[in-house]
Structure 1
Amino acid sequence: MYHQKNMALAQIIQSNPILGCGEATERTEYFDMLMDYLRIAKWRNRWIKAESNLYRDMMYAKGESREKVLPEEKCLFLLADIAAITGYNPRMKDSVGGKKIQYLLRKKNKWGSEKDFKNYADAVWGRNKNAWEKVSLFRCSEGLRKYLNLIKINQDFLQVEPIKVMVTALMSAGKSTFINALVGSKICWSQNVACTSKIHVITGKAYDDCFVYEDDHILRLHASQDILFDDDERNKESKISVSSYFHSSLAGRRIEIYDSPGVNSSLNIEHRDITYNIIKKQVFDLYIYLMNATQLMTDNEVEYLKFIKDKIKKKKIIFVINKIDELDTEDESLEDIIKNVRKFVISIGFETPIIYAVSAEAALSGRVMSSRDISRQERRNLEFLLADLEAHKSDLESINYEVYDEDDVRIYSDLVKVSGILPIEKEIINTKRER
């Protein structure tokens, strides 16, 4: 069984010069060598299997002529890829199988001395700081230097304890859209019904490798959106893990976001029990309670917030009023709504509540649209959404929101900046780990 930490690892394979070899035989021979070494070690776990599948797909894809692997560096790339496939696990390096691999590669090594090779192995596979200092002085190709840099970034990222954020809400609060907005891409299925009875753990990566992972019975390291939106009924565990680079101000941060099932589902009482149980464990640094701006302060909300207040003790919690773009600006003042919500949560026992208002839909739309050209109809829809938010601009300013008014910025940038998501992300970044 692999460790959950591995989900924070970004891929390095797309930067291997071997992929630039136009000759398919050279790429497949390289892959076959990798698999031969792994078979020698007789390692079998889900992470290695998933990595091997990804490497196979990458190696068998059509290559584009560019820089190639130098013959004298091939053993170094092989060892680096073996380290990556095993999650840079020092225990595997020092196991019987790991020692066999190093012995065989060292015999074939045509670069540097035996001592240099040992330092290289201790750095890329053993995470040894002293070895990294020596490896940084080695003379090598630009391609290998880039590979080493990505490995070092990954290893340093793993050493950081993640900020664990629990996002919870009643149904229809827009929780999935809110989490998607934090990530900056659509990785959670958004709909107004109870989607799943499982906890979703969304892990951020150190850099953008263009891959999204999902562990839902089967661990896939190149999950399509269809796979992400289709829960596997064969998964009998209570958790689904997803990993992506965050295309937001949380980019490159060591963060884990936990998405819990809605607690007021009449379809399945199991949803509430799973959420209640994970809240009782108090393993989070920050709790975000999401509220629907159009359905505030219901009896279900009172009951759930009393439970949260009793269980999280003095843990940090922020309240986020979502869907402010759906408010009727003629009849409803956002400032008044926030004042009423403040009184409401204080009456439950939260003495000095931190409250934000947001349009998760606007933030998500702005971030997703920024990665591609938009059609005339999409632009019109975004303009309507922006107009709805602009109606609340004075209220947002009165509660010290970061409202931006810049010239010559595209409409999606305006949406993100006026949506209210940025101060919430700042709260996450500034959260202190308390475990």
Structure 2
Amino acid sequence: MQGSGSLVSKDFFPENLEFDVNRIFPMVVVATMSSGKSTLINALLGKDILPNRNAACTSLPVSILDDDRPTKESVFITNKAGQTSVTSKDIDQVLEKANEDTNVKSIFIRSHIKGVLNTDRALLVIDTPGPNNSQNSEHEQALWGLMDKINGGLILYVLNATQLGINDDKYLIGEIKKLKTAKPNLSVIFALNKMDEIDEEYESVEDYVKTANRYLTENGFEGSTIIPVSAMAAMVFKKALAGTKMTRSECNLFEAFYSLYVPNDYSMKKYAITPDLKMQFETIEVKGKTYRIGDLNQALENTGISILEDCIQKAQIMGGKRLKNTIRIKG
């Protein structure tokens, strides 16, 4: 059930939470299997919360409410009888177990996404089951059941850069196109994930983004927003910055990713296609010399001006008193 003017159903929230559903902005994350969807969500959170394996990790609807207050994560596990348990300890283990428990109906997490500042609507990240999991035909039904409870907001579609054009992906993109037509308040952003796995001896990042753009255009998404990203690299970098202990494998990944991404000329931003960055691949001339616009955008980024602009924007939002905590726990 949804309130007047709301973008999302109250069904995504446990019954022991009080909140204004009209102040929730849903972001539904969808992908075919093994696109790195859970890794990308973990990268946004800056920590390993969702299960992350080379298989279909998500079998249950998982909702993550971005709470900007400095509190610990809380996990609400609701079973099929409607009973909810709450914990703030060993969250990764609790989620791993709950994801395999056939008696669990839904999982709700209250956490903080540091890169997103809530305004008049708090961000609700909704992780969805991969619809092409051959081991569980109920995943597709669960996905569209969740979509029925969304009136607007954002769909974050995670593409696997190394597997563009597979049949499952084409099918899902087609269904998302139908959904967007039926629900015009929905917007879609495409994250072109696993860019760290491409072999640039054969194709460049620019080539992959152009290929993705053609692919999406052919499937009904002309003029799409495409963000090339390495969720795994972002995850290990955030862990290092936070002082989080990493495994030996993660330390090895960190060294490899650092050498790949630290050069100023290797930035995913200069290949992205967004409403503000439509001419990334074109060039301009200054005193008879040609410069690639994407390279100039990166040079501007390196001056620190973008960080300053972000700080000004956040100060403006908070100064306007638009930052709101939209939920509280009873009792």
Please, what TM-score do these two structures have when normalized by structure 2? 0.69
**Mapped partners of 1:236, 1:213: distance in 2:** 13
Q: 1:296 aligns with which of 146, 164, 168?
A: 164
Structure 2 equivalent of residue 166 of structure 1? 28
Match runs of 1:370-409 below 5 Å:
370-372=241-243, 381-390=253-262, 393=266, 396-399=269-272, 400=277, 403=298, 404-405=301-302
Closer, same or farther in 2 for the Cα pair 1:191/1:379, shift >3 Å? closer
| Aligned pairs for 1:243-392 within 5 A | 243-246=110-113, 248-251=114-117, 254-313=122-181, 314=184, 315-372=186-243, 381-390=253-262
Cα displacement (A) at 1:351:
2.5
Q: Is the CA contact 2:227–2:268 (under 8 Å) kept in the aligned structure 1?
A: no
Partner residue, 1:222: 88
Alignment CA distance shift 1:332-1:300 (3 Å) = same
The correspondence of residues 123-142 of structure 1 with structure 2, limited to 5 A, is: none
CA distance in 2, matches of 1:375, 1:188: 16
> Residues 405-429 of structure 1: CA distance to partner in whole angstroms, max 9, x if unpaired?
489xxxxxxxxx9xxxx9xxx9xx9
- By how many angstroms is 1:251 displaced? 4.8
Does the Cα contact within 8 Å between 1:175 and 1:290 map onto a contact in 2? yes
Cα distance in 2, alignment partners of residues 373 and 184 from structure 1: 10
- 1:29-178 equivalences under 5 Å are 47=16, 161-178=23-40
Report matched runs for 1:4-23 at 5 Å. none
Which residue identity lines up with residue 372 of structure 1 in the other structure? G
Q: Structure 1 residues 257, 296: closer, same or farther in 2, change over 3 A?
A: same
Q: State how far apart, in whole Å, the 1-side matches of 2:71 and 2:253 are.
A: 31
Q: Name the CA shift for 1:373/1:307 in 2 (closer, same or farther; >3 Å).
A: closer
**Matched residue SS, 1:179:** helix
User: Of the two structures, which has the highest relative contact order with CA contacts closer than 8 Å and spacing of 6 or more?
Assistant: 2
- In structure 1, what is the equivalent of residue 45 of structure 2? 183
Instruction: Give CA-to-partner distance per residue, 1:19-65, whole Å, 9 cap, x none.
Output: xxxxxxxxxxxxxxxxxxxxxxxxxxx74xxxxxxxxxxxxxxxxxx
Residue 211 of structure 1 deviates from its aligned partner by: 3.5
The amino acid across from 1:226 in the alignment is Q
Q: Is the 8 A contact 2:56 2:133 kept in 1?
A: yes
Distance verdict in 2 for CA 1:366–1:406, change over 3 Å: farther
Q: What is the rounded CA distance, in whole Å, between the counterparts of 2:46 and 2:178 in structure 1? A: 33
CA contact (8 A) 1:5 1:158 kept: no
| 1:221 shift after superposition | 3.3
Higher fraction of strand? 2
Structure 1 position 263, deviation (Å): 1.1
- AA in 1 matched with 2:259: A
What is the count of residue pairs matched by the alignment? 262
Task: Give the corresponding residue for 2:289.
Answer: none
Report the alpha carbon displacement of residue 5 of structure 1 after superposing the two structures with TM.
8.7
In structure 1, C-alpha distance between the alignment counterparts of 2:78 and 2:149, rounded to whole Å: 23
Q: Is the contact between residue 333 and residue 395 of structure 1 (CA under 8 Å) also seen in structure 2?
A: no
What TM-score does the superposition give when structure 1 sets the normalisation length? 0.54
What does the per-residue CA deviation read over 1:287-319, in whole Å, with 9 as the maximum and x for residues that have no partner?
A: 011011111111111111111101221321011
CA distances 1:71-109 after superposition (whole Å, capped 9, x unpaired): xxxxxxxxxxxxxxxx6x6xxxxxxxxxxxxxxxxxxxx
Task: Determine the C-alpha separation between the residues in 2 that align with 1:373 and 1:282.
Answer: 35
In structure 2, relative to structure 1, the CA distance for the partners of 1:207 and 1:323 (3 Å cut) is same
Q: What runs of 5+ residues in structure 2 fail to find an aligned partner?
A: 1-9, 278-293, 318-331
Structure with higher Rg: it is 1
Kindly state the Cα deviation for residue 196 of structure 1 after the two structures are TM-superposed: 4.0
Distance 1:167 1:395, change over 3 A: closer
The CA distance in 2 between the partners of 1:166 and 1:294, in whole Å, is: 22
Measure the CA separation in 2 of the matches of 1:366 and 1:282.
Answer: 33
Contact 1:187 1:229 in 2 (8 A): no
Residue of structure 1 in register with 2:109 after alignment: 242
Cα deviations by residue, 1:152-204 (Å, 9 ceiling, x for unpaired): xxxxx868712100000000000001011112221100112123431111111
User: Shift of residue 228 of structure 1?
Assistant: 2.2
Amino acid at match of 1:215: I
- Please, which runs of 5 or more residues in structure 1 have no aligned partner? 8-45, 48-86, 90-156, 408-416, 430-435
Question: If each structure's helix is expressed as a fraction of its own residues, which one has the higher value?
Answer: 1
Percent identity over the alignment? 27
